[in-house]
Amino acid sequence: DADVTQTPRNRITKTGKRIMLECSQTKGHDRMYWYRQDPGLGLRLIYYSFDVKDINKGEISDGYSVSRQAQAKFSLSLESAIPNQTALYFCATSDLGLAGLDEQFFGPGTRLTVL
């Protein structure tokens, strides 16, 4: 089974709809992240959480919210979807290892289209 799973894998929705993307992990990592990827722009951080009680905004948090339901679950919501939120969304997890390297591991992604 995959260590990091995301649901749904693909979603088409309409402008103004509320959408939730879910991420679950079995890696036992404390840190979880949500990114979006747009062609030519690389990965941009939306929100991140270093533990269940810690939620932080990333560089592009406007229009998004998150919930850390448990160590293993981190959900991203689009309260009122708009077309420029059409993108590929990735969840990632990490744990600060002994070497001090915060290596992040990515889920398979959710392709979201907002019409």
Partner 1 sequence: QKEVEQNSGPLSVPEGAIASLNCTYSDRGSQSFFWYRQYSGKSPELIMSIYSNGDKEDGRFTAQLNKASQYVSLLIRDSQPSDSATYLCAVSRSNDYKLSFGAGTTVTVRA
Residues that bind partner 1 (CB under 8 A): 31, 40-45, 48, 58, 90, 94, 96, 99-109
Reading the block at residue 90, the tokens are 């990735």
Rounded least distance, CB 29 to partner 1, Å: 13
Helix (H/G/I), strand (E/B), else coil: 31: strand
Amino acid at 52: V
Rounded least distance, CB 57 to partner 1, Å: 11
Pairing relation of β-strands 19-25 and 4-7? antiparallel
Helix (H/G/I), strand (E/B), else coil: 26: coil
Rounded least distance, CB 80 to partner 1, Å: 27
Bridge partners of residue 56, in order along the sequence: 48
Between 41 and 115, name the residue whose CB sits nearer to partner 1. 41
Between 2 and 82, name the residue whose CB sits nearer to partner 1. 2
